[in-house]
Chains A and B, each alone.
Chain A
Amino acid sequence: MRTTSGGRGGWRSRLDFDSLAYAAVLAFLFVFLLVPFLSILVVSVTGREVNLLGGLLGLSQMEALVRRIAEAASPKYYVQLLTFPRYLRALVNSVTLGLGVAAACILLSLPIAFGLARTRMPAARLVGALCLVPLMIPTFISSFAFILMFGKTGWITQVVKAALGIQEFLNIQSPLGVAMVQTFFFFPYALLPMLAVFKVMDPTLEEAAHLLGAGRLFTFLTTTLPLAAPGIGAGALLVFVVSLEDFGTPMILSPRRFPLLIVEAYREMVGYFNWGGAATIAVLLVLLSALVLLVQRRVLGSTEFGTITGKPASREPIEDRRISTGLFLYSLVALAIPVLAIYSTAVQSLATTWGAGLLPDGFTLANYAYVVERSAGAVLNSFLLGGAALAISLALSAVIPYLVVRRRKVVLDYLGFLPLALPGVPLAIAMILAFNNPPLKLTGTALLLIVAYVIRRMPYALRSTTASIRAIGSDLEEASFALGAPKFLSLWGVTLPLMLPGIFAGAIMVFLTSIREVSATILLAPQEWKPMSLVIFEGLLRGEFYTSSAISMILIAVVMTLQYAVFRLVGEKALF
């Protein structure tokens, strides 16, 4: 009797909620993450289409697939990558740009981070909030705004010309312009980890340095800075990856003579239908991002220095008015650029015409009227696509962290973070390559675009939930078990409600990135499903500046409103 009932119990528990959810999530990730990943790998050596999913349908299909791969396999695309001068230049340019932007972001944000974390900076909350603004603006909009400000007829160019008599002080449509936009809009990625290390750093270490006779500057150089090094390094690496992945800025500002990997991958795919070349560059991009992100994790992991114990002393912020005011003014100047970018876009969207001058020739709402008339569908599309991505993410980010943290399904942890190394263009290329044929012929459907949004942002959604589920602690769930509630009821009644703020925040962030996204969108969106980000992007490339600015302002308004909702839900940590 005992063995029978025990056996039945075991059988039943294997078919419970956890196992079903685990199987479903694994299947989803296999089809939409691993298969695309493998597809770009395979195509990068074969140079032609392979239907990996089709090969799984039966033995004969599998055989055909293997034969097809074996026939075509050759390293020629990789050889091309290293010998074709344009590719090689693109690689060098991308890495140089990334390093330069990372260094510039560190320099730009170090004083702001120190000021916010360690001094009585006036209006610290305002400065902190302004630091988040750059992250909300898609780079194709900020790049265009830079043209409005610093272009040949840009208003800042005009001011400089009038004031200093310099004709053209800056050519914005250049590698320098790309680097400037990325610096002013990506520096928060460097700022936030720095802010964190400055805040958690043991204040007694600096006090000890002071008592050993070290003055402020000496202490900063020999104690504060070395202790902050992991945060600074992690921030720099993150900026490097973001710069590598950025598609909007180079498309708007980069001249043809300055090739970048991300743009080349897109051109191979769309311009030349060179599948092998596109896949090879995609693989290279993925490897680069993965490598840098691995190093970044190592660097961040080393933050926990030493074994210093004892109660942390409360930190007295630096009282010196000159220091805090100086850092405040510096921060305002640095933050003025992104704010002015939004201002310029807003003015443009309200302008009848705006030539060379500080202000437009006249103001009108006609651009918005035009947008409402012609592009309302695109706005709706954005909401539908983003909403669908949000819904799928909601389900995934409720289930995956639960399975990882509570049921120790470590595989899901690794899979969940894999997309971190998948920039938008390579991801889109992988999706097209994997789903171009039956059984899952999804290329050209909105579904594939939605899935791409979900996969792209999944690591961020997961991180926010994983953090909140770890904070809950398993004892609450165990208490629920002990009170007689079975697994699903415990999940439903105890764990899930506590996870909800984290889940919602993560899902809204997926929505936000989806409606800003353009690199995967441009490759995957079907004509009738164009979202507003793509309409703006194409409009800018076609020279429809006024109406594009109007849609941009709508997009910015939506993003800022929802971002505010996220902060209300979970605070600053929602950003990463």
Chain B
Amino acid sequence: MARVRVQDLVKLYGPLRAVDGVSLAVEEGEFFALLGPSGCGKTTTLRCIAGLERPSQGEIIIGEQPVTSLPAYERPCGMVFQSYALFPHLSVFDNVAYGLRARLYRQGGPLTKAAILGSFLSRRAFPLDAALRERVREALHLVGLDGQEGKAPGQLSGGMQQRVALARALVTEPAVLLLDEPLSNLDRKLRVSMRGTIRKIQQALRITAIYVTHDQEEALSLADRLAIMDRGRIVQLGTPAEIYDRPATPFVADFIGAENLFPARAIRSGPDLTLVEAGDLTFRAAGQPKAERVRAVVRPQAIRLARPEEPLAADNLFRGEVRFGAYLGATARYEVAVKNLVFVVDVPDPRPGALYTPGDQVQLGFAAESVLLVEEA
């Protein structure tokens, strides 16, 4: 449990600026996510914190200690790798015990060192002490893997391998837990349940966690705060709600999942209402933009649809034609063309009898408050 501070971090690969001046501070016990598309520098940032990459410039401080020049094995970090990186030649028990044995080896005298090395060859000749065994068992219990000690990693399912990796990273009680896309190799259902497991363990241990992902849903649901990265830089940093409600740039809005993102022009603006022109449409938006050129964002679930004969009241009301429809169970997703714009619309809890089909004429309405105006960067 410690603060992690990253100051002006730069990592160059030849001419490529993989990380280009990243600064952030993660508070004690905080769950922090680094979110961005592949190649944005989020994994490189994490690997610099772990000590697996040597930063070209910048400083990394964990707790009160500058660690920039320390090798990975002297940093108080535990890490879960995307590939899990379980040692295939060691059992589940030995995988989890590895970090404890490595510490004993580092701290011990020549005899301890020899005994630890010997224990990799023959457990019978060089037994491990009971306290160590107990800690391994506790760690496996924490992730719900009691009784799996003797198995080889290859015998376990992906989800169980993931838990072993987590137990292995936690057993040494690191100050910081680093997770590099840990769930990307699991199927969707397992991903969601592992998400809960990771969050619960993090809160129970009150450990500082930094989590790298390209999945915005994962980041928004797990993190206390997150940073969105693009081309080596942080473009926005804040709580999930702040980022979702007030994306700072069109890139963030797009990445966070704004389907309807239209280039627009503010043509008239009052104290709390702005008239916006997007394509051939003109509609009302809440708030006052600082610039004339903006992007207008309307979330799919904020738009309502109705048949032409049905009543529908909204600040912005248009007529359009359904181009495409997909029934997704909990929602139905449509693409509706209004003049030269196409809106993506999510209808919650659709009744199978009342679905629209392509070619249907519909009314489309949304409130002025649901229109977000994002200034061009």
Contacts and interface: CB of A to CB of B under 8 A. Distances in A.
Interface residues of A, number: 32
6 contacts: A204-B83, A213-B74, A219-B73, A226-B120, A309-B83, A310-B81
Contacts of B88: 205, 227, 305-306, 308
A308 B89 contact: no
A214 B53 CA distance: 16
Contact of A212 (B51, B53, B99, B120): B99
Nearest to B79: A211
Contacts, number: 119
Given A208-B81, A208-B87, 14 more contacts: A202-B83, A207-B81, A207-B85, A208-B85, A209-B102, A210-B52, A211-B50, A211-B75, A212-B168, A222-B101, A305-B89, A306-B86, A307-B154, A311-B83
Contacts of A319: 54
A370 interface: no
Contact of A218 (B83, B102, B184): B102
Contacts of A326: none
B363 interface: no
Interface in B27-61: 50-54
B158 A221 contact: no
A306 B83 contact: no
Contacts of A310: 81-84, 184-185
Interface in B110-169: 117, 120, 152-154, 158, 161, 168-169
A477 to B, nearest CB: 35
Contacts of B71: 210, 215
A522 B85 CA distance: 54
Nearest to B84: A308
A324 to B, nearest CB: 15
B98 interface: yes
A207 B83 CA distance: 12
A216 to B, nearest CB: 8
A222 B97 CA distance: 12
| Chain B interface mostly | mixed
B105 interface: yes
Interface of A: 202, 204-205, 207-216, 218-219, 221-223, 226-227, 229, 305-313, 316, 319
Contacts of B154: 305-307
B85 A214 contact: no
B199 interface: no
Contacts of B178: 211
Contacts of A223: 87
Contacts of A219: 73
B53 A316 contact: yes
A11 B158 CA distance: 52
Most chain B C-beta atoms within 10 Å of own C-beta, residue among A208, A222, A227, A311: A208
Contacts of A218: 102, 105-106
B85 A210 contact: no
Contact of B78 (A211, A307, A313): A211
A213 B174 CA distance: 10
Nearest to B152: A306
A211 B73 contact: yes
B172 interface: yes
B77 interface: yes
A213 B82 contact: no
Task: Name the 9 nearest CB pairs between A and B, nearest first.
Answer: A310-B83, A306-B88, A212-B99, A305-B88, A214-B102, A210-B72, A204-B85, A306-B154, A208-B85
Contacts of B184: 310
B114 to A, nearest CB: 11
A222 B120 contact: yes
A303 to B, nearest CB: 10
A205 B83 CA distance: 9
B339 interface: no
A313 B181 CA distance: 13
A4 B281 CA distance: 74
Contacts of A313: 83
B307 interface: no
B153 A306 contact: yes
Contacts of B105: 214-215, 218
B67 to A, nearest CB: 12
Nearest to A205: B85
A202 B79 CA distance: 16
B103 interface: yes
A301 to B, nearest CB: 14
A215 B81 contact: no
Nearest to B77: A211
Nearest to A316: B53
A212 B87 CA distance: 12
